[in-house]
Every structure is written in structure tokens, then in C-alpha cells.
Amino acid sequence: MSRSETLFANAQKHIPGGVNSPVRAFRGVGGTPLFFKHAEGAYVIDEDDKRYVDYVGSWGPMILGHAHPEVLEAVRRQLEHGLSYGAPTALESEMAELVCALVPSMDMVRMVSSGTEATMSAIRLARGYTGRDSIVKFEGCYHGHSDSLLVKAGSGALTLGVPSSPGVPAAFAKHTLTLPYNDLGAVERTLAEVGREIACIIVEPVAGNMNCVPPAPGFLEGLRAQCDQHGVVLIFDEVMTGFRVALGGAQAHYGVTPDLSTFGKIVGGGMPVGCFGGKRAIMECIAPLGPVYQAGTLSGNPLAMAAGLTTLKLIGRPGFHRELAEYTGRLLQGLQERADAAGIPFVTTRAGGMFGLYFSGADEIVTFADVMASDAERFKRFFHLMLDGGVYLAPSAFEAGFTSIAHSETELSITLEAAERAFATLAK
Ligand code: PLP
């Protein structure tokens, strides 16, 4: 028995399913989840001392690679001053200033402790600001696990085959309208009918929770125009895309400016952080300036701010995102060539430092239906073959992959060699 197997058996005694977040349980790919004890650069190291090239990056935050010395040093320095004060700090203002400088739409920002809190709070704010109850989201987009948003939500929910969750009252869910991603016509028809009841449209500007589906040309622009026409708040959920697709997020990359944005993952540099922000007139509705309540004991935690700020400063160097995107491009090209050579139908998608892999004969992946039509069983086998070859992909056919700046030639070779063997086995 491997140590991961022993630890997993033990974990299940007191932790539901042995994990603190469902997709970690490997239900989407079968087998025993790996237990990690260390991570550095582009690698994670499991309890059995096996090293893997990591394309999960803690589900997105580790854009600099794991255990970046400057990030660790910033946290160590802050540690000397205590863990949390529950009172304002200079670090929080520095963070707010930097986020507003980097992201085009941000006039003001509020820090929270997770992506879920960020989206939940942004939705409440949009409802408070507009005085409307209903919201629009898109099928396959995941915005965290708050009640209003756990309707037809991607990845974890898709992996488990539960499109929404027991425990979400029907009365909540009825205010959430779910439309097909990349289908502007559906948005136009819905807003023409019930636009005056809609507080906000929330969207992943690149959908990263049904694998990786970039926006169709004109989709984000169309959402902007529709929101303007109907007085609806446009929220970009950039928890995944923020600071990754480009330094200024997907909104900078695609040149579309939302009213509110939500962030998580990279903004905390690996610590539990999220934030939401945007137009001053809307943000001024948040307590204590306005009546919309939102709060958090550990919001703006100094250790988390130190990790996040250092990360944001380091990724701001010229060329960072170009290099990240170049690696991603070479990785996908290499995978495609090897799949083609083995005669395996295979399609990839990407946006900056995030990517999607599909066992599919489709020409391109544009809709949720395209994602669902791909061969998830084949992905399961590929996942385990890659794992055997020392490469750790997200353990689900419905999750985006992430690259980091620590991924270089060596990791590319390891990955492509493992893939060549994996595709050859799949072709047998
Ligand atoms: N929004 C998006 C787009 C996400 O990808 C996630 C998590 O993966 C969330 C929100 C929720 O963030 P958290 O897991 O930090 O609560």
C-alpha cells in the first residue's frame, strides 16, 4: 500500500470523503488521490516521494511556481509582526491601490477570504444597487458554492454528476436564470423579456470550470451592450482568469470593461484570499459607506496580503505573461502533434496561462454541449497514464489546466514524453 493510500483510508474516518473539497477525491478519474507533502517550482512531491510536473498549481494561484523564495520571504517577514489584527493595515491600502492600477475596471476593491465570498458579495451588491432580485449565469460556469450560484455550476458539480445541490432552496434557485455560454441570442431574448427584473449577469470571461472554453468573438462585447441597454450590472468572475490571462485579467485581454469583477487565487499568492470591486458608484453601496452589508473577521489578513502583494508585483515584470503564454502554446502544440501522430482525436483550447484538453473530434470547442460531447472516459485513462509518467493534471475532464512561469524546457520534455507514451497506449 502506498502512503497516499494509507493516508486516504485514514482521512475518510473523520473527513467526508477524505477531502476538504470534492474534486480532490479523484472521483472524476478513479483511484486514490495523491497526498502531497511538498511543492517547489513546477513540481509537487507526494508522500511516497514521487515528483510530478504540476499543471494544477493549487487550482490556479501558483502562477510563479510553488514556494517562490520572495513570496515565502514576504510572509516570513510579516509573520514576525503577528498573524491577524482585525483592524486596518497599510498593506491593505497598498493591495487595493495595486489591484486598481492593474485591472482596468476597478475604482474600489474590498478584500475577502475566498472566491466564493467574492462572487456572493458581488451578487448581493448588484441586487442592492439595482433593487432587482434575479440574476443571470451561464451553464457550466462555476462561481463558488453559495446558494444563488450553485445552479448548473461546472467542474466539481459536473464531476459528481449533480448539476445543482440539495440544500439550495428552490426559492433561491428560482432567482437564478441559467443560459447557454457563448449564446448571445439567448441573452438578448431573455433580457428583452425580463430585463427589468435582472440585477446582474455574472460570467467567467473565459469559462474555466467546464474545462476551458474561451469566449466566442463578440460574446463579451454583446453582454456589455445588453447590460447597458437594460440597466443590468455586468460582473466578470475573474477568480480564475484574473492576473493569469493577462496582467489586467480577461477584461484587459479582451478589451471589455465590466461594472464589477471578482478575484481569488493569484491575488492571494496561495493564501486564502478573494476580492471584489469595480465602479465607484456601485462599490459605495457597501457598508459602512452604504446599506449593503458585507464583512469578514480575517478579510485583508496581513500574511495573506503579504503573499498576494508580492505575487502581483513579481508577475508585473515586462514579458511575464508573454512567456507564460508561450510555454502554454508550446505545450499544447506538442500535445496536439503527439495525439495526431497516434491517431487520437484531440482538441485543445487556451487563454494565456490556462488551457483545456479534450478527447474530441470536434473542430473547435465553443459550447457546453461541445464539452459534454468529449470523451471523459478516455481522459480518465490519459490522466492516470500521465500520472505514471510523472505529470499531474487536474483530476477531472471538466477542469482547466494551469501553467506557471517555473515551467521550462525540462518540464516540457517530461510532459511531452509522458504524453507520447500515453497517446500510444490509448491508441492500442
Ligand atoms: N469563481 C471561479 C471562476 C472559480 O473558478 C472558483 C473556484 O475555483 C470560484 C469562483 C470559487 O472560489 P473559491 O474556491 O476560492 O471559493
Q: Which of 46, 54, 183, 237 is catalytic?
A: 237
> Hey, which residues does 234 pair with through a beta bridge?
201
Structural domain ending residue among the three candidates 315, 342, 370: 315
Query: 164 and 283: one domain?
Result: yes
Whether 183 sits among the annotated catalytic residues: the reply is: no
ipTM value for the complex: 0.99
Within 10 Å of residue 342's Cβ, how many Cβ atoms?
A: 18
Q: In terms of domains, do 148 and 36 share one?
A: no
- Which amino acids bring their CB within 6 angstroms of ligand 1? 59, 114-116, 119, 142-144, 204, 208-209, 237, 239-240, 264, 274
Q: Ligand 1 center to residue 264 CA distance, Å?
A: 7
252 CA from centroid of ligand 1 (Å): 20
Domain of residue 325 covers 3-67+318-427
In this structure, the answer to whether residues 159 and 141 fall within a common structural domain is: yes
Q: Does 142 participate in catalysis according to the annotation?
A: yes
pLDDT tens track for 163-212: 467 888 877 788 999 999 999 999 999 999 999 999 999 999 999 999 99
Residues with Cβ < 8 Å from 208, sequence gap 6 or more? 240, 241, 354, 399, 400
353: nearest Cα among 316, 327, 383, 318: 327
Residues 190 and 267 reside in one and the same domain? yes
The CATH number of residue 376's host domain is 3.90.1150.10
Nearest atom (ligand 1) to Cα of 237: 3
**CATH code for position 130:** 3.40.640.10
Task: Yes or no: say if 210 and 368 are a contact pair by the CB < 8 Å rule.
Answer: yes
Same domain assignment for residues 187 and 244 = yes
Q: 315, 345, 361 — which closes off a domain?
A: 315
Question: What is the tally of structural domains in the chain?
Answer: 2
pLDDT truncated to tens, each residue of the chain (428 aa)? Answer: 999 999 999 999 999 999 999 999 999 999 999 999 999 999 999 999 999 999 999 999 999 999 999 999 999 999 999 999 999 999 999 999 999 999 989 999 999 999 999 999 999 999 999 999 999 999 999 999 988 787 766 555 544 444 467 888 877 788 999 999 999 999 999 999 999 999 999 999 999 999 999 999 999 999 999 999 999 999 999 999 999 999 999 999 999 999 999 999 999 999 999 999 999 999 999 999 999 999 999 999 999 999 999 999 999 999 999 999 999 999 999 999 999 999 999 999 999 999 999 999 999 999 999 999 999 999 999 999 999 999 999 999 999 999 999 999 999 999 999 999 999 999 99
CA 338 to ligand 1 centroid distance, Å: 32
Q: Which protein residue's CA is at the shortest distance from atom 10 of ligand 1?
A: 143
Q: Which of 155, 209, 243 to mutate to test the pocket of ligand 1 (most atoms within 8 A of CB)?
A: 209
Nearest residue (by CA) to ligand 1, atom 7, is: 144
- For atom 1 of ligand 1, the residue with the nearest CA is 143
Asked if residue 300 and residue 412 are part of one domain, the reply reads no
Of the candidates 137, 152, 265, 380, the residue annotated as catalytic is: 265
Query: What DSSP character marks residue 374?
Result: S
327 is catalytic: no
Note the pLDDT tens digit of each residue in 308-335. Answer: 999 999 999 999 999 999 999 999 999 9
**Best of 111, 137, 138, 142 to mutate for ligand 1, by most ligand atoms within 8 A of CB?**
142
Distance 276 CA to ligand 1 centre (A): 12
188 shares a domain with 266: yes
In the set 142, 254, 327, 392, the catalytic residue is 142
Atom of ligand 1 lying closest to residue 265 CA: 15
User: What is the C-alpha separation between 327 and 315, in angstroms, rounded?
Assistant: 15
Residue 101's contacts (CB-CB under 8 Å, 6 or more residues apart) are none
DSSP structure string for 8-65 = HHHHHHHSGGG-SSGGGG-TTT-SPPPPEEEEEBTEEEETTS-EEEESSGGGTT-TT-
Verify that 203 and 331 share a domain, yes or no.
no
